[in-house]
Structures are given as C-alpha cells and as structure tokens.
C-alpha cells in the first residue's frame, strides 16, 4: 500500500426535494383541498475517523463525493423521503482544512469521531403548507434548497506517542526496528526512509507508539531534501527522541542543524520535551564516546543517552525514559479531560437549578 498523507477533494451535499402541488380528489367529496406534501432533506456529507486506516491513498482515485438528493413530495400529504447521509471514512489523525489550506475545519483525533462538513438542503414546501382561510386552493410548491459544496484539503498526521528526529543516516530506522516489530527499509545511504513509519514499543509491561520520519538536512524548511513535509506527523507526539550520528565529525553542528529546522517549521516542535541520544557508539572507542557525548551535552544543555540501535546498547534505558515522558503526558491529558467533564457537569447542574428556581417563582 502506498503512503499518502495529503490530498484535495470535492464535497457536495444533496439538494432538498421539491414540494408537490396536488389536490385531494375523492368521490362524494366536493372540496377536497390541497394535499401536496413537502420535499425530503438532502443527504449530509459526514467525515468519520476509523482506526483501521493509516493512509489517504483511497482519495487518490476518488476525489469527488456527492450526497444523494431528497425525495420529492407527493399527493395525499406524503412527504418526500430524506436522503441517506454520505459518510466518508478517514484515518485517525486526519485534519480537514478549508481551500485556503490554513483554516482547520475539523481534526479527527479519536476513533468514531464524526463531523458534518456539508449540510443537506431542506426540502421545499408543498401546496398544503400554504392553505389558509383566504387561499383555500394554493397552487404553489417550492423547489428544494440546494446543498452545500466545497473543496477541502486532507492532511494526515499520524497518531504517535514519541517521534524520532535527526539527520539522514542517523540510525532512526534501525532504532525503530530494534525497539518494535516494524520493519522499515534500512540501508547505508541517505534518505532511505521516504515516508513515516510507525512501531509499537513494549517496555516494562506497557506500550507506546513510536514514529520514524524521513531525515532533515540544512535548508529543509526551504525544501531541501524531502523538506519538512513529514514533520506534521510528530506534531502530536509527547516527546521527541533526537538521534545524532556518533560517527559524524561534528555532532554539535548536526544537533543544531536539526533544532534550527524544527524551530523554523513551528507547530510547537521546538518546545516539546526532547531526549538526545548519541547513536552508533558501537563504532566508536571509549575516548571518542566520552568526547562526543560532552560536546553534545554542551550543545543540547541536557543529558545525553549513549546508544546503539544496531548493537542494542542503551536502547532499553532510552525507551524507558521516553515512556516516562509519554506516561506523564497521558496523565496530564486525562486530568484535563476529567476537569473539562466536571466543568460541563457543573454548568448543567447550575442551569437545571436556575430553571427550577424560575419555575418556583412562576408557581408563587
């Protein structure tokens, strides 16, 4: 399956059905009167997040989506059938943006989440709706209201707890393969990874999702290399694992290059919690490891993990530290959700008490 994380599609909701112009005709009933029914509502266009998708490749072959029209009204006061809604299934983590590619219409972050992007048109009134004491035989039936249409951009941001960043050939794919059952392509040339990869890392009886994105080079924010297109996939991560190639001549420069590209990209990546790791220590002697770790610590201003994805050295300690950050973020998010839920419940209770007080005032 090919990986596609960005595309543009056309959406149109269904038009409402037309109202009917009809008169009741029955033997021995001299003045039957109007009995034209109203038209049915057109179908909505709804997007839904489903957990078993991880790419937008389906939208490469189908770009136009149109909901059905509502049924027309009929005689005998029969209302036209409402059209079924058009539900478009998308991967969890998909952002739906307006045509300007900046305004976020909906962010599908949880399985089962739904949103209406285009509302179906209302049905038109039939002539029975216009019957009055002074107009007992109206011959007016309205057409249905037109549906909405729009072009939208879809941008997929993979849901991951932690993300691997670094220069090309820093060993990110090897680290992902060493810590999970993911099998990314691994080779000894730059830009082996051409699209993001996900893996589930098991540590201390728990699991978290680790994302590997294509490497960044100097000038990536201006389109050099593969650019910063795939950085969106680590925007949702709670922690970034920054791998630096230990065999490089200047590890401090490599670290600063990636940090500058993250800062230019924005999206809060430069402010995220970061774990810095000196990778490929199996190819260095002890003196080189000590020297380069000190240089990297001065450049990053924090602790430097010494690891080797190929040899498995220091990997468990790095993953434990990453999971500790992921666990703290999960706890903070759960606490925020609980606080928001309690606030909503308090609002409902206050509203109910106000209604009861108003009802008592009226009784008195």
Beta bridge partners of 151: 10
Q: Is 279 annotated as a binding residue?
A: yes
Q: Is 170 annotated as a binding residue?
A: yes
Q: Judge whether 215 is annotated as a binding position.
A: yes
What angle do the packed helices 315-363 and 172-179 form, to 10 degrees?
Answer: 80
| Annotated binding residue 357 | no
Q: What is the DSSP letter of 104?
A: E
- DSSP, res 154: E
**Is 54 flagged in the annotation as binding?**
no
Q: Is 223 annotated as a binding residue?
A: no
Q: Is 173 annotated as a binding residue?
A: yes
| 20 belongs to an annotated ligand binding site | no
| Cβ atoms within 10 Å of 53's Cβ, excluding its own | 16
167 annotated binding-site participant: yes
281 in a known ligand binding site:
yes
Q: Binding residue per annotation — 194? A: yes
- 280 marked ligand binding residue: yes
217 is in an annotated binding site: no
Cα distance between residue 141 and residue 129, in whole Å: 9
Residue 69 annotated as binding site: no
174 annotated ligand-binding residue: no
Residue among 267, 258, 264 at smallest CA distance from 299: 258
Is 11 known to sit in a ligand binding site?
A: no
Residue 169 among known ligand-binding residues: yes
Alpha carbon separation from 349 to 257, 336, 341, 343, 353 (Å, rounded): 54, 20, 12, 10, 6
Buried b (16+ CB within 10 A) or exposed e, 295-316: bbeebbeeebbbbbbbeebbbe
Asked if residue 92 lies in contact with residue 51, where contact means CB atoms within 8 angstroms, the answer is yes
Q: Is 125 annotated as a binding residue?
A: no
CB 357 within 8 A of CB 271: no
Known binding-site positions for Mg(2+): 173, 193
Known binding-site positions: 166-173, 191-195, 212-215, 279-282, 308-310
Known binding-site positions for GTP: 166-173, 191-195, 212-215, 279-282, 308-310
């Amino acid at each position: 399956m090919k990986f596609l994380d960005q595309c543009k599609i056309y959406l149109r909701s269904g038009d409402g059905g037309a109202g009917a112009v009809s008169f009741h005709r029955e033997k021995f009933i001299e003045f039957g009167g109007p009995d034209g029914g109203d038209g049915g509502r057109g179908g909505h266009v709804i997007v839904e997040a489903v957990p078993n998708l991880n790419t937008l490749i389906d939208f490469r072959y189908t770009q136009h989506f149109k909901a059905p029209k509502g049924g027309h009204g009929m005689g005998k006061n029969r209302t036209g059938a409402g059209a079924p809604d058009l539900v478009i299934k998308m991967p969890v983590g998909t952002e739906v943006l307006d045509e300007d590619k900046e305004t976020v219409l909906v962010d599908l972050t949880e399985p089962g989440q739904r949103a209406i992007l285009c509302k179906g048109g209302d049905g038109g009134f039939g002539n029975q709706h216009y019957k009055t004491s002074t107009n007992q035989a109206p011959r007016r039936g309205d057409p249905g209201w037109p549906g909405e249409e729009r072009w939208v951009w879809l941008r997929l941001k993979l849901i991951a707890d932690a993300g691997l960043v670094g220069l090309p050939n820093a060993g990110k794919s090897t680290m992902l393969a060493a810590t999970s059952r993911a099998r990314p392509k691994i080779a000894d040339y730059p830009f082996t990874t051409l699209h993001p990869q996900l893996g589930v890392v098991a540590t201390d009886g728990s699991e978290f999702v680790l994302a590997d994105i294509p490497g960044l080079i100097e000038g990536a924010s201006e389109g050099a290399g593969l650019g910063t297109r795939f950085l969106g996939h680590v925007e949702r991560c709670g922690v970034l694992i920054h791998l630096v190639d230990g065999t490089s001549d200047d590890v401090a420069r490599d670290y600063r290059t990636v940090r500058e590209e993250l800062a230019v990209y924005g999206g809060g990546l430069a402010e995220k919690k970061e774990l810095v790791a000196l990778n490929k220590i199996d190819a260095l002697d002890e003196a080189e490891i000590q020297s380069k770790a000190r240089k990297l610590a001065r450049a990053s201003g924090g602790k430097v993990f010494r690891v080797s994805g190929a040899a498995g050295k220091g990997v468990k300690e790095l993953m434990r530290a990453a999971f500790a950050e992921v666990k703290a973020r999960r706890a903070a998010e759960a606490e925020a959700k609980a606080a928001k839920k309690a606030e909503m419940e308090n609002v409902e209770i206050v509203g109910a008490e106000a209604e009861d007080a108003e009802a008592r005032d009226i009784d008195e």
